[in-house]
Amino acid sequence: MWKNFIKIAWRQLFSKAHLSIIKIIGLGLGIAAYLLLLQYISWQWNFDRFHHHAKDIVRIQNDHFKDGVLNSQSAMTASGVPVIAKENFPQVIDYVRLGRWIANDVIFRYQENLYRGDGCFFTDPAFFDVFSFEMILGDPKTALKDPNSLVLTETTAKKLFANENPMGKEVLFENFKTFQITGIVKNPPSQSHIQFDLLGSLSTMTNWRLDVYADDEYSSSYVYAYLKTVRNADLKELEQELTTKVGALKPHQSGNDVYKLQPLQNIHLYSDLDNEIGATGQGNNIWILSGIALLILILGWVNHFNLFVASTMDQTQSISIRKIVGATRQHIFTQIAISSFIYSAAGILLGFILATIAQPVIEKSFAIPFGNISLLHMTGREPSFYLFTLLLLGTFGNAFLPAIFMSRIRPAELLHRSIPNQPRVLSFRKVLVTSQFIIITGLIACTAIIYQQASFIKEKDLGITLDNIKVIRAPLGVKYEELAISFPAFKEEVMAIPGVEMLSVSHRIPGNELELIENLKMGEKEYIYSFYRNYGDPTYLELYDMQQLSAFPEIDLKVTDKRYAVINKMAAELLGFFEPEEAVGMKIERWEREVEILGVVDNYHQRSLHHATFPIIYDFSSDGLMSDGYYSIKVSDRADISLVQTAVREAFEEAFPYTIFEFADVEDHFNSQYKADDNFRQLNLGFTLLALIIAGLGLLGLIMITLERRLKEMSIRKVLGASASNLVFLLSKDILGLTLIAGVIATPISWYLMSRWLNHFSTHIEIGWVIFVGAATVVALISLVIVGVQTLRASITNPAKTLRDE
């Protein structure tokens, strides 16, 4: 019996091959898209979960308040805070601090080999106990214990030492201090929010009298602090106790700082604080993609159900005859279920094949990581586990729904083709088709909004100009005396290059985090706000075309001992100056150093549009000499960039032979902040188009089945004088009505979801009604084209032949 059922199902598969192909391809595309998104979601979700104690590790978040109002939220905190936590609270087993060198990027040299980058952290000896980064050489317990100890990753070791054994050897730091290599560690996994190239001992910093890294420093936030806690520790209670304890140690600032604890596993997806250690993954986008994955899968399921039920209805006479001659409901159910199951199995197989083929192509084309899903390593706590389970249960469950429906119909109803529930079936089918249109309309509208926002943030006036500006890293490790001789000669040579208009020196450039400073004084008044500091020469303001809001007095910085600064409008207002001219000449004080305000510029976006503008103080360097920042070079529109780069490289390497030349476009540097947004946009567009194809295939299949059933009716209408356009209108009017209903339903849902998504940007577009009308129109036009083309093809058939066959 089973063999006979399989034969029947196999024959049905090939009897109408065009419909079978549509069913299988539609379901296969839906499953392939679902699997690809499932892998991407799983890859993002599993960040930092490779650590053995991942569930017990938290990072200290520092929230700063002014007069009870939240002023800033930072991923960095003061060096003494984790020390207090371990010494006073039994829930804390150990701590790890990560601090950078003052310049952030560093340079190490071994003989003629150089490393330069910002992947160097100074950390505590417990680093390899708290985290599970794998040591290859050296003792993980002692590798970071002594001052001037250095652990290298495999890649960095190869860069500095080639094929030599680096253990015990010394490297030169910034061309004036030596470090001894005490260990080699494997490169950090890509699914780690902590990415590093070198690890130095934190005790080195305190030996060099950098007090911001001391165990008793509670005010200046210069470290990323992680705590390893006991299992299931009460984090809320620990947060309160830590805030109270540290507040008691600095009574003059009591209540200004509140400490929160971020679970390690949540940092990549859900953290968006100031001074993040690296780019975060934007968890909201991941959940949106999860929704898209589910909607695409639903489209595949709906297609399968609609097409299978519609095509099975053509078999009503054979099913009724089988029932009359003795076939039970169970037999009918089994036969139809086997046929439906074969289609589903073929769709799943095709989906896996397509996903396997597409994954490396998408990864390579868009630099979007997908990783690999292993069912053996999936846990019940990650979304991919539930989504994959839903895929299997839903797809095979959907295979049996048509069998349940068809096996309930009585033989007499089947023979007369007058099924009492047929109107209800058709209504249910309309509901399913409408749901497809709702999904497609919503996805198109959301994709349009995402693209509009992406264009908006790239074209939005930042308050500064980034066009035609190139940047090179200043030469690290050059002594001041040498820099005083080599830099003026370098600058003169660069300014003589054809196409170069200006050169400026600054500690940071647009797109970089700025140094956070607090507790400024002006006279006797103290301002406990968070300000952000940059410094360099005065030409920086002109080069980046900042808008001056006050007149700038003529000052020759080279012949004065005074320190000057320019502040932006927001900083002026925090200091109590609502008219820019009022701030000019006023003096602010920090760390017992007095700085005179030289002028006020308008607010501008230092960071991406995910962040609001913030108060900035720009200190002027009296001599423009700097070895740990950036040299910004303004070039003309007609400059040959390759020639400029070559000439600048030659001048740089001649002036600073023991450093590394790095040349970049500042606009590209700034836009790199939108990498996660670009990935999200590309994924959204690609899978929305795929959803449109799946829905189109489903509609095509339904129209083909409908035309086969109504071919006699169409022939009679044609004999009676109906034109092709009349026939198209007859068949398309219901479809167009469903697209209208779908547009009405999809609009408020899409508007709500996209409004919430846009709130993650400090500046964003306003959602207009045109987007939703356009989305509904696109769906209606595509539907009309599909119906029209198929109807016109059917109308070409000779009506006499059709009526004779009937």
Please indicate whether residue 66 or residue 741 has the higher confidence score (pLDDT).
741
Domain assignment present for residue 95? The answer is yes
Q: Give 601's strand partners.
A: 548, 568
Q: What is the DSSP letter of 282?
A: -
Please indicate whether residue 203 or residue 396 has the higher confidence score (pLDDT).
203
State whether 488 and 454 are in the same domain: no
Which of 212, 235, 270 is the endpoint of a domain?
A: 270
Lowest mean pLDDT among 226-235, 373-382, 687-696, 705-714: 373-382
Domain encompassing residue 766: 444-461+673-806
State whether 657 and 679 are in the same domain: no
Q: Give 532's strand partners.
A: 516, 616
pLDDT for res 317: 59
pLDDT for res 499: 92
Which of 672, 707, 740 is the endpoint of a domain?
A: 672
* Percentage of the chain exceeding pLDDT 90: 34
pLDDT for res 777: 92
Which pTM does this prediction carry? 0.82
* Whether pLDDT at 412 is above 60: no
Question: How far, in Å, CA of 255 to CA of 244, rounded?
Answer: 8
Please give the structure tokens belonging to residue 316: 């009503």
State whether 233 and 97 are in the same domain: yes
pLDDT for res 349: 84
Lowest mean pLDDT among 389-398, 625-634, 696-705: 389-398
Q: How many CB atoms lie within 10 A of CB 506?
A: 26
pLDDT for res 141: 92
Q: What mean pLDDT is predicted for residues 152-181?
A: 91
Overall number of domains in the chain: 4
State whether 484 and 416 are in the same domain: no
| Residue range 382-399, pLDDT digits in tens | 555 655 666 667 666 665
State whether 340 and 241 are in the same domain: no
Distance in Å from the first CA to the final CA of the chain: 34
Question: How far, in Å, CA of 573 to CA of 575, rounded?
Answer: 5
* Whether pLDDT at 377 is above 60: no
* Whether pLDDT at 179 is above 80: yes
Question: How far, in Å, CA of 51 to CA of 59, rounded?
Answer: 14
Please indicate whether residue 681 or residue 423 has the higher confidence score (pLDDT).
681
User: What residues contact residue 71 under an 8 Å CB cut-off, 6+ apart?
Assistant: 64, 65, 528, 529, 530
Question: How far, in Å, CA of 192 to CA of 199, rounded?
Answer: 15
pLDDT for res 624: 61
Q: Are strands 113-117 and 500-506 parallel, antiparallel or unpaired?
A: unpaired
State whether 529 and 611 are in the same domain: yes
Angle at 668 between CA 667 and CA 670, to 5 degrees: 65
Which of 657, 672, 687 is the endpoint of a domain?
A: 672
Please indicate whether residue 21 or residue 234 has the higher confidence score (pLDDT).
234
Domain assignment present for residue 804? The answer is yes
Lowest mean pLDDT among 84-88, 263-267, 459-463: 459-463
* Whether pLDDT at 204 is above 90: yes
Lowest mean pLDDT among 185-199, 342-356, 757-771: 342-356
Question: How far, in Å, CA of 60 to CA of 243, rounded?
Answer: 11
| Residue range 299-334, pLDDT digits in tens | 888 887 777 776 666 566 566 666 666 666 676 677
Q: What mean pLDDT is predicted for residues 338-347?
A: 77
* Whether pLDDT at 794 is above 90: no
Domain assignment present for residue 234? The answer is yes
pLDDT for res 376: 43
Instruction: Give, in order, the Cα–Cα distances in Å from 178 to each of 101, 110, 149, 587.
Output: 15, 10, 9, 40
Please give the structure tokens belonging to residue 222: 């210069």
User: Do residues 672 and 424 touch, judged by C-beta distance below 8 A?
Assistant: no
* Whether pLDDT at 375 is above 50: no
Question: How far, in Å, CA of 696 to CA of 691, rounded?
Answer: 8
* Whether pLDDT at 748 is above 90: yes
Domain assignment present for residue 425? The answer is no
| Residue range 214-264, pLDDT digits in tens | 998 888 888 999 999 999 889 999 999 999 888 888 766 555 789 999 999
State whether 660 and 677 are in the same domain: no
Domain assignment present for residue 567? The answer is yes
Lowest mean pLDDT among 202-216, 615-629, 738-752: 615-629
pLDDT for res 54: 92
**Can you say whether the dihedral through the CA atoms of 202, 208, 209, 212 is positive or negative?**
negative
* Whether pLDDT at 200 is above 60: yes
Angle, to 10 degrees, between the axis of helix 675-709 and the axis of helix 711-719?
A: 70
pLDDT band (50, 70, 90) for residue 418: very low
State whether 335 and 455 are in the same domain: no
Q: Give 469's strand partners.
A: 634
Domain assignment present for residue 430? The answer is no
State whether 65 and 30 are in the same domain: no
pLDDT for res 289: 84
| Closest listed residue to residue 228, CA positions, set 237, 218, 220, 238 | 238
State whether 80 and 95 are in the same domain: yes
Domain assignment present for residue 40? The answer is yes
Domain assignment present for residue 202? The answer is yes
User: What residues contact residue 602 under an 8 Å CB cut-off, 6+ apart?
Assistant: 463, 546, 547, 548, 549, 568, 569
Strands (E), 154-235: 170-173, 177-185, 198-201, 221-229
* Whether pLDDT at 90 is above 80: yes
If you average pLDDT over every residue of the chain, what do you get?
Answer: 82
Please indicate whether residue 601 or residue 697 has the higher confidence score (pLDDT).
601
Q: What mean pLDDT is predicted for residues 773-785?
A: 89
State whether 338 and 292 are in the same domain: yes
User: Do residues 185 and 152 touch, judged by C-beta distance below 8 A?
Assistant: yes
State whether 237 and 308 are in the same domain: no
